[in-house]
Amino acid sequence: MLNRFGKNGGRRVQQHASAGGPAAPAVPSVPPAPPVSSTVEGVVSAEAMRSTIKVHTNSVAPSYMRPWTKMEGTSCTGSGFAIESPAGAGRLGRYLITNSHVVRDEQLLQVQRHDRPGKWVARLLVEGIQCDLALLTVDDEHFWEDLPLQQVTDALPMLQHIVTAVGYPVGGENLSVTRGVVSRIDLLDYTFVEHATAERLLVMQIDAAINPGNSGGPVFHDGRVIGVAFAGLEEADNIGYVIPMSVVRLFLQTFHSRGSFGQLPSLGVSFQTTENKMLRRSLHLDQDSRVGLLVASVSPLMPAAKVISPGDVVTKLDGLELAEDGTVQAMPTLRLPWDYLVTRRPCHEIFELEIWREGQQINTRIESMPEPRLVPFHDGVDASPSYVIVGGLVFLPLSLPLVDAGYFDNVVETMSTGIVLGKIGAHQTTADQNVVVLASILESELTISYEGACAGRILKQFNGKEVTNLSSFAAAVHASSAKPFLTFIFEGDRVAVIETARSKVVEVRVARAAHHLQLVLLARRHHCALVLP
């Protein structure tokens, strides 16, 4: 099992008190470091180690199952390092870079230098959840005094090259250095989405030990930083994953041009390989070329839907041949899955495609963009904990964060679980479409027997009208205040009926009993909708 070492797999303890911002420490006299022999491969300089910092995070995550509350506060430590933003990424600047999962849902960030005592309060500037990167800064100028800044390059070491990981893993308080080799270069979904396939980025696998607390630390080769440590494989020893600097550069460029990172790009096209000879023959493809991918589906709201159809065969993308096994010649000695060509560039780029359709070659162009999914994948990117409560019935938009929070624990039938899983990975067919589910039930006399019959199910209709998203459903409930009953029809033809006149009284009483009345009454001030007919 892959584990990101920081917030969800790092040095996390229960939060008992919040630490205030520390005063700027006095700058001690630091004796010069002894010289490091440049002939010893894998040895990093004292300057490189001084650029590495320790990150202390106090955080409070949202609750998807009870979105009017927050989860209990936690704390963790991770690693990071100081960089100078490259000229190609916009204005030059000094930043601290770490992993997004180290600082996720931060309430207080503090950083600590290797060569100075004390901590400094830091600010989060931007995070890219899908690329697992975050930029921090420190307002106190004392922090930056004599702090070496690492250069951002596109250097990518080859297989078997020696690399050195630097950071603050478990097992001690001081800086740790481990050494290994590059063992693989591949693509990986940095968010480790389950139940579906998400966008992937270039990744390096190394056999240097990467442990909890190493997340966000630099990885060096030949005196240069070549990546950011971010994950390890729990079932195996010394298998770590590193974000290459080309991904860091893309993150910085996107931040400087747009002020945020957002989502990774997609073409909105899913392919089937054409390795089967009979399949290739039926598509009139050259049996010897080993080129071409069959279009299986196209997201209807993506630009590709206007020029590509299922059954087409794409033979080239941006001038590179798409092999029958789904790979491209990404580098002279390296083949990678075709989607590397898309995610190595920012959103809204134009791609040239060569298509084989009914024996004819067609050349076309399509724009990449974030794919509009029926079920959002990432908290803070395309998902947020919004909700509607009607008479004790708690409705939420289906999302993978909701599934991860224990949504399936409330699904009482295997059939319902299968239906829900079938929605994950599906495309939106209309703008703002989402799946509304009855995530939980607050017990009252109005909800007797509904727990077993309806909990966890997808809401199909409300008062005779199809439910297409949470916002329109909330509006429909508001508009039904004059109706005697509120009727909900769920998948599997399960029905729940609530008397309109009584639902408001029960709603407030349930909220008060749960000690959430203040949060419920303030819900409208936040990104959630509380419905009291």
Dihedral of CA atoms 371, 375, 380, 382 in degrees, nearest 10, equals 30
Residue 215 appears among annotated catalytic residues: yes
> Are the C-beta atoms of 205 and 239 separated by less than 8 Å?
yes
Q: Where are the beta strands (DSSP E) in 114-263?
A: 120-128, 133-137, 150-151, 162-167, 176-188, 201-206, 218-221, 224-233, 240-244
> Are the C-beta atoms of 111 and 53 separated by less than 8 Å?
yes
Find the distance separating the first CA and the last CA of the chain, reported in whole Å: 46
| DSSP string computed for 351-409 | EEEEEEETTEEEEEEEE-B---BSS--SBTTTB----EEETTEEEEE--HHHHHTTGGG
295 DSSP 8-state letter:
E
Q: Is 437 helix (H, G, I), strand (E, B) or coil?
A: strand
Which residues have a Cβ under 8 Å from the Cβ of 66 and sit 6 or more positions away?
394, 440
With CA atoms as reference, report the closest residue to 277 among 264, 267, 268, 286.
Answer: 286
Of the residues 132, 207, 379, 382, which is catalytic?
A: 132
Residue 275 carries which side chain, given as an amino acid letter? E
Residue 45 appears among annotated catalytic residues: no
Q: Where are the beta strands (DSSP E) in 273-349?
A: 293-298, 313-317, 320-321, 327-331, 334-337
| DSSP string computed for 85-141 | --GGGSS--EEEEE-HHHHTTEEEEEEEESSSSS-EEEEEEEEETTTTEEEEE-S-H
Q: Across the strands, what pairs with 268?
A: none
Residue 44 carries which side chain, given as an amino acid letter? V
Residue 358: is it exposed, middle or buried by C-beta count within 10 angstroms (0-12/13-18/19+)? exposed
Of the residues 215, 266, 399, 444, which is catalytic?
A: 215
- Which pair of structure tokens corresponds to residue 442? 């607050």
- Which pair of structure tokens corresponds to residue 24? 């700027």
Residue 46: is it exposed, middle or buried by C-beta count within 10 angstroms (0-12/13-18/19+)? middle
Query: How far is C-alpha 487 from the chain's CA centre?
Result: 37
Of the residues 51, 79, 85, 101, which is catalytic?
A: 101
Q: Is 446 helix (H, G, I), strand (E, B) or coil?
A: helix
Our CA angle for 413, 416, 418, nearest 5°, is 110
Query: How far is C-alpha 480 from the chain's CA centre?
Result: 38
Residue 101 appears among annotated catalytic residues: yes
Q: Which helix (H) or strand (E) holds 74?
A: strand 74-84
Catalytic positions are: 101, 132, 215
